[in-house]
């Protein structure tokens, strides 16, 4: 079993408090987050953009593997994950993730590409973890 760790610290109240997020690898080390980084445009990160980055990375890597299994190799795979945080029943909930993929994959057509991308979307580990509506726009460039 592979295990990876992320950690967070928080001090203060929800609106005036401050926190930091770190990753085991050290790529993030005490990255600032707080109310303004989550609900406004303050400096720092937030859980939703980290989930988006994780989902985009996981999906893109899974897609590369699925393309390889179909004897295809991408010259470019670029994915942006948009995570929606909505107010629901007096609280907040991540309600959706939209994956926007632009790819260059020689030797394939749109229908084959979309089928492989859909399979990667449904089966990457982060997609399986999230209990949200996950949509995908897959654009194949010539």
Average pLDDT over residues 69-82: 97
Tokens encoding 50: 């980290």
pLDDT digits (tens, 9 = 90+) for 10-65: 999 998 999 999 999 999 999 999 988 888 888 889 999 999 999 999 999 999 99
Query: Distance from first CA to last CA of the chain, Å, rounded?
Result: 40
Please give the torsion angle defined by the CA atoms of residues 86, 90, 91 and 97, in that order, rounded to the nearest 10 degrees.
-20
Q: pTM of the entire structure?
A: 0.90
- The pLDDT of residue 131: 80
Alpha-carbon 5 to chain mean position: 17
| Cβ atoms of 139 and 102 closer than 8 Å | yes
d(CA 52, CA 55): 5
| Whether residue 81 has pLDDT greater than 90 | yes
Tokens encoding 17: 């408090």
Angle at CA 41, nearest 5°, toward 98 and 134? 10
Tokens encoding 52: 């988006």
d(CA 126, CA 41): 26
Residue range(s) in the chain whose domain bears CATH number 3.30.300.20? 47-141
Task: Tell the CATH topology of 47-141.
Answer: GMP Synthetase; Chain A, domain 3 (3.30.300)
Angle at CA 89, nearest 5°, toward 85 and 86? 10
- The pLDDT of residue 51: 95
Name the DSSP class of 34. E
Average pLDDT over residues 87-114: 94
């Amino acid at each position: 079993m592979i295990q990876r760790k992320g950690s967070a610290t928080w001090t203060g109240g929800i609106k005036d408090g401050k926190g930091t997020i770190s990753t085991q690898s050290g790529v993030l080390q005490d990255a600032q987050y707080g109310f303004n980084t989550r609900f406004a445009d303050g400096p720092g990160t937030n859980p939703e953009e980290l989930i988006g980055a994780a989902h985009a990375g996981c999906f893109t890597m899974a897609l590369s593997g699925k393309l390889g299994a179909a004897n295809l190799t991408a010259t470019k795979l670029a994915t942006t994950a948009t995570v929606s945080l909505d107010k629901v029943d007096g609280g907040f909930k991540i309600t959706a993730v939209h994956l926007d993929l632009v790819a260059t994959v020689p030797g394939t057509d749109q229908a084959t590409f979309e089928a492989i991308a859909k399979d990667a979307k449904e089966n990457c580990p982060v997609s399986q973890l999230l209990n949200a509506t996950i949509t995908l726009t897959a654009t194949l460039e010539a």
